Structure 1
Amino acid sequence: MLPVARRRPINPLHVRVRAWRGRVGLGLVGSLSVLAGMTDAIGFLATGDFVSFMSGNTTRLAVAISQGDLSLIVRLALAVLAFIAGNTLGILLGRWGGRRALPLMLGIAGLLCGAALLPFESQVPALLAAIVAMGMLNAAVEQVNGLPVGLTYVTGALSRFGRGLGRWLLGERRSGWRVQLVPWSGMLLGAVLGAVLEAHFGVKALLFSAGFAALLGVVSLKIPRRWQRDYMPR
């Protein structure tokens, strides 16, 4: 007769640590989503182009191609490529910085400062700098306690929330789907704030985004390094 495997007792301390790691992670996700929404709204109102919403830029690129608008095709293609480059650079900075948020957030702050202070006649250099920054932002948090999260796009979050709601209505009591509203709410709040700031300061409102990014980087120093490593992409 085979021996019955014994279940390891649950350590209350581990449970509390995991709960706090989740709360801190979601707080960070919400704050970073506010930054993304703020920056996207400022960029969109100042230039007419999305800074973090590449689905929208891809649709606009397709329309531009169908209409043969060469200048818009080049502009939007550069925007998509800049976003990809930003994600790539974010991973590199995250690894080179020991998977800490501070070097990444300071890099983002620097790019947003550059976007705010660059000559804005052509708009394109400032727009691309802000897009690279938003691509980098996605490397700050990828998951919290095993739950995937998005920062600069919320379609996936709403989809995961909707699917979770469907399972809940069917009687399945899986956890985690409600937290998908955190990035959506953060982006909504940030976009409202960004729209107000852009109305008063124009593209210079990106300086507020830069300051907020730097502040979040400094605040991240209070987060245990092991937790930061868990949040960031592997």
Structure 2
Amino acid sequence: MQRLSSSQRRLAIGLAGLAGFVDGVGFLSANGYFVSFMSGNTTRLAVDLVTDTHMARIPALLIGGFVLGVLAGGVVALKSGMQQTRNVLILVTALLLGGALAYALGSVALSVGCMVLAMGALNNSFQRDGGSPFGLTYMTGALVRFGQGLAYWLCGKTVPGFGGLLALWFGLSSGAVAGALAYSQFGGWAVALACALSCIAVLATIRIGPDPTIHHDGE
């Protein structure tokens, strides 16, 4: 995070908020399954395999869809040169639009599927050198790095930028609160609000301009 420009850091926090919003909407739409948190779905898959084999297909499909979304977003990122953030977000926006249209046509399952694909793709927004320096839809690694940064600080050592990881977590968690509130008011139509937020993110990338070079810093 510390190697991003200030505008890119704000964008990253905003995208984490978008991920939280979509995951909040998706969690409620999918009755307790996740559209971006695949560790949770992996646990659900394992438990369902033991307690209700028939239900195990749901987390299995969600995990597969997420990986497919990561694949699609990765291809777009690799083909986009210095405009990969913008182009990946255009893909995310299109998928969220598909989710909104699917809900309008009465298919909650397809709407959730589009959200899963979108969240997988979103993780390629800052891809550089064959990987992403930090996650946008999952925060376990960010919290670990933040906790380690605190440990270093308490021991009199400095870890530049570790506070930015907490900002990512706050973005995701506050976005999830907003998503849950939106779902409570609008039901599955809240995915249309997510699409609108993604459009705003695309406009932000256009204003920021071409992607800077990002090097991995361990987040």
Distance 2:174 2:211 in 1: 29
**Corresponding position of 1:165:** 150
Q: Percent identity?
A: 33
CA distance in 2: counterparts of 1:226 and 1:212, whole angstroms: 20
Aligned-pair distance for 1:230? Answer: 2.8
What does residue 110 of structure 1 align with? Answer: 94
Q: CA deviation at 1:174?
A: 2.3
Which of structures 1 and 2 has the bigger CA Rg? 1
Spell out, residue by residue over 1:190-218, the C-alpha distance to the aligned partner (whole angstroms, 9 max, x if none).
11111111011111100111111111112
Match of 2:137 in 1: 152
Residue 121 (structure 1) shift: 5.7
Q: Secondary structure at the match of 1:148?
A: coil
Q: Which of the numbers 192, 208, 215 marks the counterpart of 2:200?
A: 215
**Given the alignment of the two structures, is residue 125 of structure 1 paired with residue 121 of structure 2, yes or no?**
no
Structure 2 SS opposite 1:174: coil
**Cross-structure match for 1:46:** 29
Letter in 2 for 1:112: L
SS of 2:121's equivalent? helix
Match of 1:179 in 2: 164
| 1:72-83 to 2 correspondences below 5 Å | 72-83=55-66
Q: Secondary structure at the match of 2:5?
A: helix
Q: Does 1:28 align with 2:38?
A: no
Quick one: which of 183, 198, 204 aligns to 2:189? 204
> In the TM superposition, what is the alpha-carbon distance from 1:184 to its structure 2 partner?
0.2
CA RMSD of aligned residues (A): 2.2
C-alpha distance after superposition, 1:97-131 (max 9, x if no partner)? 32422222121111112112215766322211110
Q: Look up the equivalent residue of 2:39 and give its one-letter code.
A: S
Matched, 1:135 2:120: yes
Note the residue ranges of structure 2 that are not aligned, 5 or more in a row: none
**Residue 173 (structure 2) aligned to one of 183, 188, 194:** 188
Q: Secondary structure at the match of 1:211?
A: helix
CA contact (8 A) 1:45 1:198 kept: yes
Larger deviation, residues 212-221 vs 29-38: 212-221
Q: 1:99 to 1:125 in 2, by over 3 A?
A: farther
CA spacing shift, 1:225–1:130, aligned 2, 3 Å:
same
Distance 1:220 1:175 in 2: 25
* Structure 1 portions without partners, runs of 5+: 1-18
* Matched positions, count: 209
Which amino acid in the other structure matches residue 91 of structure 1? G
Cα 1:231–1:78 change in 2 (3 A) is farther
TM (normalized to structure 2)?
Answer: 0.88
Residue in 2 that maps onto 1:10: none
CA contact (8 A) 1:114 1:129 kept: yes
Q: Is the 8 A contact 1:75 1:124 kept in 2?
A: no
Q: Distance in 2 between matches of 1:215 and 1:36?
A: 14
Check the 8 A contact 2:100/2:191 in 1, yes or no: yes
Structure 1 stretches of 4+ moved >4 Å: 119-122
- TM-score norm. by structure 1 comes to 0.82
Instruction: Give the counterpart of 2:76 among 85, 93, 96.
Output: 93
CA contact (8 A) 1:42 1:195 kept: yes
